[in-house]
A and B are shown apart, each in its own frame.
Chain A
Amino acid sequence: GQNIDQPTEMTATEGAIVQINCTYQTSGFNGLFWYQQHAGEAPTFLSYNVLDGLEEKGRFSSFLSRSKGYSYLLLKELQMKDSASYLCAVSRDKLIFGTGTRLQVFP
């Protein structure tokens, strides 16, 4: 079977740094995606990790440890527009999504 766990909700302040964790147990693994989804909108691609380590892309970074079944998304210099759900998705023969972490950024 498969299990992907993310915190349900997180809050943070504008300008701060927040780390959203994702742990997974899946039968098969090719890589891990992070998507951002604003309320009522489609998911948009943020990052893809296939090897262990940190991938940095502007204010967003994503980390993967395959041996630990663990990933995190790091958001720096938070802005109000970063308020959204962040979906962790394990890539096998298809994408298996977690239920997402709803991030609220306050002024």
Chain B
Amino acid sequence: DAMVIQNPRYQVTQFGKPVTLSCSQTLNHNVMYWYQQKSSQAPKLLFHYYDKDFNNEADTPDNFQSRRPNTSFCFLDIRSPGLGDAAMYLCATSKTSGRPGADTQYFGPGTRLTVL
């Protein structure tokens, strides 16, 4: 089945120790997104790739970076995780229909990050 895969599902890191979360998709969608979701809060968009074009949200901290080496894979790098970065990180994909904002996003299962 076509899907969005995130690894690992659970990640524990230490304060200040860089961590990378990965996302892959078999849907062949051209847009990939990274969201941060804290407990009982709405998912918050960090950035997205439209094909190879990187689009950062204005309020995304510099501590968060992303890479998309090819259509299928996208990585989220947290350079120096703080306690406040503990959250669920959701990857999503969509296929552009030509109608901005109208594209259904398909989410991966998420990576729950714990910062000690």
Which of chain B's residues have a CB closer than 8 A to the CB of A31? Answer: 101-102
Report B22-60 CB contacts with A as 1/0, cut-off 8 Å: 000000000000000000111111001000000000000
**A99-B41 CB under 8 A given contacts A41-B109, A43-B90, A94-B48:** yes
Which secondary structure characterizes the binding site on chain B? Answer: loop
With known contacts A42-B108, A43-B107, A45-B106, A92–B42 Cβ distance under 8 A = no
B residues near A, CB below 8 A?
4, 40-45, 48, 88, 90, 99-102, 104-110, 112
B112 contacts A30, C-beta separation under 8 Å:
no
B48 nearest in chain A by CB position = A94
- Determine the distance from Cα of A40 to Cα of B6 in the docked complex, in whole angstroms: 14
- For A93, the chain B residues whose CB sits under 8 A away are 100-101
B105 touches A100 (CB 8 A): no
Q: Cα distance A31–B97 when bound, in Å?
A: 14
Which residues of chain A have C-beta atoms less than 8 A from B106's C-beta? 45
B100 to A95, Cβ gap below 8 A? no
Cβ-based interface call for A73 (8 A): no
Give bound CA distance, A41 to B37, whole Å: 11
In whole angstroms, how far apart are the Cα atoms of A45 and B106 in the complex? 7
Given A41-B110, A42-B107, A99-B40; A91-B102 close (CB under 8 Å): yes
Q: Which B residues touch A42, using CB under 8 A?
A: 4, 90, 107-110
Cβ of B15 to closest chain A Cβ, rounded Å: 24
Using known A-B contacts A97-B43, A99-B42, determine if residue A45 contacts B105 with beta carbons closer than 8 Å.
yes
Which residues of chain A are near B109, meaning CB under 8 Å?
41-42
Would you give the 0/1 interface string for A21-59, flagging 1 where the beta carbon is closer than 8 Å to chain B? 000000010110100000011111100101000000000
- Whether the Cβ atoms of B101 and A91 lie closer than 8 Å is yes
13 A–B contacts from the bound complex (CB under 8 Å): A30-B99, A30-B102, A33-B104, A42-B107, A42-B109, A42-B110, A48-B104, A87-B43, A91-B102, A94-B45, A97-B44, A98-B42, A99-B41
The residue on B at minimum CB distance from A8 is B40
